[in-house]
Chain A
Amino acid sequence: MAVSNQQNGSAEAPIDLANPTVVGINFGNSYASISVLNKQGNPDCIANEDGERQIACAVSFHGEEIYIGNQAKHQLVKNAQNTITGFRNLLGKKFSQIDTSKPTTSAPVIEHPEQPDTAAYKVQILQSAPLPLPASTTTTQQNTPLASRVATPRSEPTPATRILSVSEVTTIFIKSLLQSAEDFLGKKVQGAVITVPAWFTSEQKKALEDAATEAGVSVLQLLEEAGAAAVAVLSNPTAPASTTTSLSGDRTQLVVDLGSSALALSLLSIRQGLIHSLATLSDHTLGGDAIDSKLIKFFAKEFTKKTKIPLTVAPAPADSKQDQRAEAKLRLAVEHTKRTVSASSGAATCSVESLKDGIDYTGSINRMRFDMEVRNVYAGVGEQVKTLVSSAGLDLFDVDEIVYVGGSASLPGLDEHLAGIGFREDIVTPFSSGSVVGGGVGDPTTLLSRGAVVQAKLLAGLGESSEEEKEVKAAFHEKLENWTGVKVTSKSIGLVFPETSAEGQEENALGGQWIPLVLRETVLPCRRTVRFGVEVGEEGKVGFELWQVDESIKITLEKPPKFEPEDGEPEEEDEEEEEDIEVKDRIISKDELLGAALLESKKARNKKTTLEVQILIAEDGKVDVSASEVGGEKVTLAVPPIGA
């Protein structure tokens, strides 16, 4: 098969565009995941050979063995000094830029003895003595010792020290991800899109790209995490159309990424597939680790209650090796507890063999208790969400959709909490649309890698045969200023169809039916075409005005509906404490009249006709609108460019 013999990235042979052999990699600081394209060309997150879809970013050295992934994580209990974690966040940083003062629970970062100011790790390994025979004789696979090899006894492996730079560790790890993907696909991977946090600097990106290239991955793009999330959601054919904005595909999306060590928030404006960020924020005090600490404390207390053995954790006292080890064991164990809480509403258990003094421990926690224990984390996320949205000059009510990313965002308690902080009632979240459970399209733990592979598929199809094609391809790489810098509208523009207000009815602020055409935050140049039915008046005429509008959210306080206590006993104090409920409404008011047009209807039936309206706004702000009955004569109107 010609393709599989091809070197990565040099694919001249026609790539199967419907299903190129590409992967999407979500490379977090604590977990990674891989997605590939299935037969239908849709993204699927795959499990590695250990059956894990969330693959721990950990590399552990134990004697002659190297463990990678979740197995390596388990080495943190007994072999912490030779177990490397947290390396992603150190990529591209100089040793002097890294804070090494904090105690670590894994192999400490040191300065590379040979490469100045390079961050590295030192691990103890067992080195097998070199074979007495030249290496060229070993032609068969290693897992079956050849008869001849058995006959030549090897000398015992000897202890040795190995220094690995952060980049080298990353390469080892990415290589194993690639291997898992290729084992699954049965083909060589032709290219990959890898996700990176929004705060990654260009040094960090470069270090990651180099490490990945070293691992044999042809990097198609390093994609910002929020972008990968949006692409995953947008590419989902079964997604519910945004129910509230009349222009489908246009929405304001909040991406909530709650990982292990941090919360990352992005508020995105999506306008017919074009994505730009309105505001971002990150908080390194919130995340799975913080949740773990709360849970560990909870279970340690329970353990002490049950056994009368004192146990202090999170943090464990520096002078108690026993408590430290107990904490490490609990940290591993609550991983399972958390996943159970996310997956089902029943109680979740936590079991640790020989937690302390040789005593085994099994405890359990139910959903309610869990949410109570970690409510500070939920509340912290809620507060940051409010901060983010108001920093963009918007109200929570303006958000159309929430997308969850990151393992800790799988917790339904978080979504429940956010639902109560002031979003619209009909806001779309993966929990409200039921797409989280059972590895659905909204699954926060797989979303990033799925988005990445969708993007990889797009990039795999790009040619490089002309200067223009090369330029198009380059627009997905670093130094994108050429094409990512854009201008957007600051106010929404649409049509008003003047109507006679019905008697007794409050005068509509716009004086007619409002049909938005181009929402604020739309990238220019833009084109929108809409089609809709119109009732035709007595004279067979259809007329409209083109308006630019202001939008705001009006908040009115309403008394909550009173619940009369059944038995007539008035509940005291409580009653006056009852807070008013905020009721929000979107207010649209006229800002600027941009033009108007009148059309003679020639095709009306039963006093109704269908109108097609197209609006074009050029980069300089020039607006052209044309309207016609479908297949009929056009009327046009134009608005001069800004500053003309």
Chain B
Amino acid sequence: MAHIVELSVVPPPLRSDWTPPQSTGKSIAPLVERRLIPAGSAYLAHVKRAVHNLSFEEHDKHAEEERKRLEALYGNGTNGEDDLGVGDEEETEDLLSLDPKEWKKQDHYAVLGLSHLRYRATDEQIKIAHRKKVLKHHPDKKAGVAGETNDDAFFKCIQKAMEVLTNSERRRQFDSVDPHYESLEDEVPTEKEVKSAKDPNSYFFKSFGPVFEREARFSKKQPVPLLGEYNDGKEQVEGFYDFWYNFDSWRSFEYLDKEVNEGSDSRDDKRYTEKKNKSERARRKKEDTARVRQLVDLTLGLDPRIKRIKQEEKEAREAKKKGKTGGANGVSAKQKAEEEKKKAEEEAKKKEEEEKVARAEAKKAKAAAANAAKKARRAARADGADA
């Protein structure tokens, strides 16, 4: 469309004795040559008109078509970039007031908003999360915002986190001592808890399952056999314990090293710290190996499947014996009945288990929905604040 300029002047009524003067046939004054600076959208329009040899009106039409084409191609300028599930985690006061000088103590995943992914975050997800954080916390974006004292402390924390998580060796070291899991490590169920549970069987699987899932990340060998379920066969159960008794972990403890005091010239001082660090690492590693072993010991001791398998084996042996004495056609009626009863019991139990899983699933879905709603609300609020 032609650009219409609205003017605020209002010419007064026409002079009553005015009649249009005769045309003089004169042209406008001679033109002057100038050189345009090739800049700005007006220059682009000028060139387009000239190249395509268009009149102003034809150009208007063209421009309108082009606009429609682009709108169809790109939507309304919004491009929903896939963030690969990185999402937007809430940033607590505590998080935002982290001191970059204490970067070693910070939770790098939390800083980048990846608490929900942690060691599972892919390099691509880390990159996306970093970009999101930078866009939000770059000191540039804050300068001048009222109340913000040009504070780039958290930005520095972000950069530190990125530095650690994008270097595979440093990330491995940090993952080894990820504070999130450190705190969970103490939450291994005790013997008493299992035994006093209402349904010790299901409690066992519910409480130990996640522990092994967690520990599995340290394994050099992948995939790792997980705890499994009550009805697992002997082979499976044995395979599980076999694996975990020979657990080969990449976990190491360099991250907790004491800083070598670079400032001090004393080589002895340096060497002493280095030696101490080395022995500390070894001590921690030993402790960790022992910890995993204790865990496996505890699990084996409480594993209801062991009892079941033993029982089954015993029964099989007895059956065999009986079969030998009682002829080729074998299984007594009593035994048959017993087996049938057991089968029914197991079926019932299985059904119950399934129901439980379904219930848990439903609960999870509900939580997820609530979460999504919360997110949407937050987004809406953020939008509102932008506007």
Which A residues have a C-beta under 8 Å from some C-beta of B? 1, 14, 16-18, 39, 41, 44, 46-47, 51, 53, 140-141, 143-144, 146, 184-187, 221, 223-224, 226-228, 230-231, 234-235, 246-248, 268-269, 272-277, 438-439, 451, 455, 458, 462, 468, 471-472, 475-476, 480, 483-491, 493, 497-500, 512-513, 515, 521, 523-525, 527-539, 541-545, 548, 591-598, 607-608, 612, 614, 616-617, 621, 623, 637, 639-644
Q: Is the pair A246, B7 in contact by a Cβ cutoff of 8 Å?
A: yes
Q: Is the pair A144, B25 in contact by a Cβ cutoff of 8 Å?
A: no
The segment out of B28-36, B104-112, B223-231 that lies at the interface is B28-36
Q: Is B167 an interface residue (CB 8 A)?
A: yes
Q: Is B263 an interface residue (CB 8 A)?
A: no
Q: Is the pair B38, A483 in contact by a Cβ cutoff of 8 Å?
A: yes
Q: Known contacts A140-B169, A246-B9, A274-B43: does B20 contact A475 (CB below 8 Å)?
A: no
Q: Is B336 an interface residue (CB 8 A)?
A: no
Q: Is the pair A548, B28 in contact by a Cβ cutoff of 8 Å?
A: yes
Please tell me which one of the listed residues A221, A247, A475, A486 contacts residue B33 in the complex, with CB atoms under 8 A apart. Answer: A486
Q: How far is the CA of A497 from the CA of B20 in the complex (A)?
A: 11
Q: Is the pair A597, B28 in contact by a Cβ cutoff of 8 Å?
A: no
| B54, chain A: closest CB distance, angstroms | 11
The segment out of B73-81, B278-286, B320-328 that lies at the interface is B73-81
Which residue on B lies nearest to A592, using beta carbons?
B26
The proximity string for B residues 210-230 relative to A, scoring 1 for CB distances below 8 Å and 0 otherwise, is: 000000000000000000000
| B173, chain A: closest CB distance, angstroms | 10
Q: Is the pair B140, A490 in contact by a Cβ cutoff of 8 Å?
A: no
Q: Is the pair A490, B25 in contact by a Cβ cutoff of 8 Å?
A: no
Which residue on A lies nearest to B78, using beta carbons?
A18
The 7 tightest CB contacts between A and B, nearest first, are: A273-B42, A497-B11, A186-B131, A537-B13, A227-B39, A227-B37, A18-B77
Q: Is the pair B5, A528 in contact by a Cβ cutoff of 8 Å?
A: yes
The segment out of B45-53, B242-250, B368-376 that lies at the interface is B45-53
Q: Is B196 an interface residue (CB 8 A)?
A: no
Q: How far is the CA of A276 from the CA of B52 in the complex (A)?
A: 22
Please tell me which one of the listed residues B5, B39, B49 contacts residue A228 in the complex, with CB atoms under 8 A apart. Answer: B39
Q: Is the pair A230, B33 in contact by a Cβ cutoff of 8 Å?
A: no
23 A–B contact pairs at CB < 8 A? A141-B167, A146-B169, A227-B37, A230-B37, A246-B9, A272-B3, A273-B43, A275-B40, A277-B37, A439-B144, A455-B39, A488-B31, A489-B29, A525-B56, A530-B4, A531-B7, A532-B9, A534-B10, A537-B16, A597-B20, A614-B2, A621-B27, A639-B27
Q: A223-B39, A545-B20 are known contacts; what are 12 more A-B pairs with Cβ within 8 Å?
A: A1-B124, A51-B139, A230-B39, A483-B36, A487-B32, A488-B34, A489-B28, A489-B29, A499-B11, A513-B9, A639-B28, A642-B28
Looking at B33, B37, B52, the one whose CB has the most chain A CB atoms below 10 A away is: B37
Q: Is the pair B5, A529 in contact by a Cβ cutoff of 8 Å?
A: yes
Q: Is B267 an interface residue (CB 8 A)?
A: no
Q: Is the pair B34, A523 in contact by a Cβ cutoff of 8 Å?
A: yes
**B144 surroundings in chain A (CB, below 8 A):** 438-439
| A598, chain B: closest CB distance, angstroms | 5
**B36 surroundings in chain A (CB, below 8 A):** 274-276, 483-486, 523
**B15 surroundings in chain A (CB, below 8 A):** 498-500, 512
Looking at B20, B33, B124, B143, the one whose CB has the most chain A CB atoms below 10 A away is: B20
**B41 surroundings in chain A (CB, below 8 A):** 273, 458
Q: How far is the CA of A530 from the CA of B2 in the complex (A)?
A: 10
| B290, chain A: closest CB distance, angstroms | 25
| B147, chain A: closest CB distance, angstroms | 14
Q: How large is the interface on B (under 10, 10 to 19, 20 to 34, 35 or more residues)?
A: 35 or more
Q: How far is the CA of A277 from the CA of B43 in the complex (A)?
A: 14
Q: How far is the CA of A533 from the CA of B8 in the complex (A)?
A: 8
Q: Is the pair A47, B44 in contact by a Cβ cutoff of 8 Å?
A: no
Q: Is B152 an interface residue (CB 8 A)?
A: yes
Q: Is the pair B3, A529 in contact by a Cβ cutoff of 8 Å?
A: yes
Q: Is B251 an interface residue (CB 8 A)?
A: no
Q: Is the pair B21, A545 in contact by a Cβ cutoff of 8 Å?
A: yes
Q: Is B12 an interface residue (CB 8 A)?
A: yes
**A438 surroundings in chain B (CB, below 8 A):** 144
Q: How far is the CA of A332 from the CA of B313 in the complex (A)?
A: 87
Q: How far is the CA of A143 from the CA of B33 in the complex (A)?
A: 59
Q: Known contacts A144-B170, A536-B13: does B5 contact A247 (CB below 8 Å)?
A: yes
Q: Is the pair A14, B73 in contact by a Cβ cutoff of 8 Å?
A: yes
Q: Is the pair B20, A598 in contact by a Cβ cutoff of 8 Å?
A: yes
**A500 surroundings in chain B (CB, below 8 A):** 12, 15-16
Q: How far is the CA of A462 from the CA of B45 in the complex (A)?
A: 12
Q: Is the pair A186, B14 in contact by a Cβ cutoff of 8 Å?
A: no
In the complex, how many residue pairs between chain A and chain B have their CB atoms under 8 Å apart?
Answer: 268
Q: How far is the CA of A248 from the CA of B6 in the complex (A)?
A: 9
| A496, chain B: closest CB distance, angstroms | 9
Q: How far is the CA of A612 from the CA of B3 in the complex (A)?
A: 12
Which residue on B lies nearest to A496, using beta carbons?
B11
Q: Is the pair A542, B14 in contact by a Cβ cutoff of 8 Å?
A: yes
Q: Is the pair A276, B27 in contact by a Cβ cutoff of 8 Å?
A: no
| A17, chain B: closest CB distance, angstroms | 6
Please tell me which one of the listed residues A231, A531, A537, A539 contacts residue B39 in the complex, with CB atoms under 8 A apart. Answer: A231
Q: Is the pair B11, A534 in contact by a Cβ cutoff of 8 Å?
A: yes
Q: Known contacts A274-B42, A529-B4: does B152 contact A486 (CB below 8 Å)?
A: no
**A462 surroundings in chain B (CB, below 8 A):** 44
Q: How far is the CA of A458 from the CA of B43 in the complex (A)?
A: 11
Q: How far is the CA of A468 from the CA of B49 in the complex (A)?
A: 11
**B149 surroundings in chain A (CB, below 8 A):** none
| A350, chain B: closest CB distance, angstroms | 22
Q: Is B266 an interface residue (CB 8 A)?
A: no
Q: How far is the CA of A458 from the CA of B46 in the complex (A)?
A: 14
Q: Is B183 an interface residue (CB 8 A)?
A: no
Q: How far is the CA of A295 from the CA of B130 in the complex (A)?
A: 44
Q: Is the pair A458, B21 in contact by a Cβ cutoff of 8 Å?
A: no
The proximity string for B residues 142-186 relative to A, scoring 1 for CB distances below 8 Å and 0 otherwise, is: 011000000010000000000100111110000000000000000
Q: Is the pair B20, A643 in contact by a Cβ cutoff of 8 Å?
A: no
Q: Is the pair B6, A532 in contact by a Cβ cutoff of 8 Å?
A: yes
Please tell me which one of the listed residues B6, B20, B152 contacts residue A543 in the complex, with CB atoms under 8 A apart. Answer: B20
Q: For chain B, residues 291 to 306, give those with C-beta under 8 angstroms from any C-beta of chain A.
A: none
Q: Is B117 an interface residue (CB 8 A)?
A: no
Q: Is B134 an interface residue (CB 8 A)?
A: yes
Q: How far is the CA of A194 from the CA of B376 in the complex (A)?
A: 41
Q: Is the pair B47, A17 in contact by a Cβ cutoff of 8 Å?
A: no
Q: How far is the CA of A533 from the CA of B78 in the complex (A)?
A: 40
Q: How far is the CA of A621 from the CA of B27 in the complex (A)?
A: 7
Please tell me which one of the listed residues B14, B30, B73, B168 contacts residue A642 in the complex, with CB atoms under 8 A apart. Answer: B30
**A621 surroundings in chain B (CB, below 8 A):** 27-28, 31
| A458, chain B: closest CB distance, angstroms | 6
Q: How far is the CA of A246 from the CA of B79 in the complex (A)?
A: 39
**A529 surroundings in chain B (CB, below 8 A):** 2-5
**A533 surroundings in chain B (CB, below 8 A):** 10
Which residue on A lies nearest to B24, using beta carbons?
A593
| B142, chain A: closest CB distance, angstroms | 11
Q: Known contacts A223-B39, A272-B42: does B48 contact A642 (CB below 8 Å)?
A: no
**A640 surroundings in chain B (CB, below 8 A):** 25, 27
Q: Is the pair A617, B38 in contact by a Cβ cutoff of 8 Å?
A: no
Q: Is the pair A641, B7 in contact by a Cβ cutoff of 8 Å?
A: no
Q: Is the pair B38, A475 in contact by a Cβ cutoff of 8 Å?
A: yes
**A592 surroundings in chain B (CB, below 8 A):** 24, 26, 28-29
**B3 surroundings in chain A (CB, below 8 A):** 272, 529
**A47 surroundings in chain B (CB, below 8 A):** 138-140
Q: How far is the CA of A486 from the CA of B37 in the complex (A)?
A: 11
**B8 surroundings in chain A (CB, below 8 A):** 532
Q: Is the pair A485, B42 in contact by a Cβ cutoff of 8 Å?
A: no
Which residue on B lies nearest to A513, using beta carbons?
B11
Q: Is B127 an interface residue (CB 8 A)?
A: yes
Q: How far is the CA of A76 from the CA of B19 in the complex (A)?
A: 78
Q: Is the pair B31, A524 in contact by a Cβ cutoff of 8 Å?
A: yes
Q: Is the pair A490, B11 in contact by a Cβ cutoff of 8 Å?
A: no
Please tell me which one of the listed residues B9, B16, B74, B152 contacts residue A17 in the complex, with CB atoms under 8 A apart. Answer: B74
Q: Is the pair B4, A486 in contact by a Cβ cutoff of 8 Å?
A: no
| B113, chain A: closest CB distance, angstroms | 14
Q: Is the pair A491, B28 in contact by a Cβ cutoff of 8 Å?
A: yes
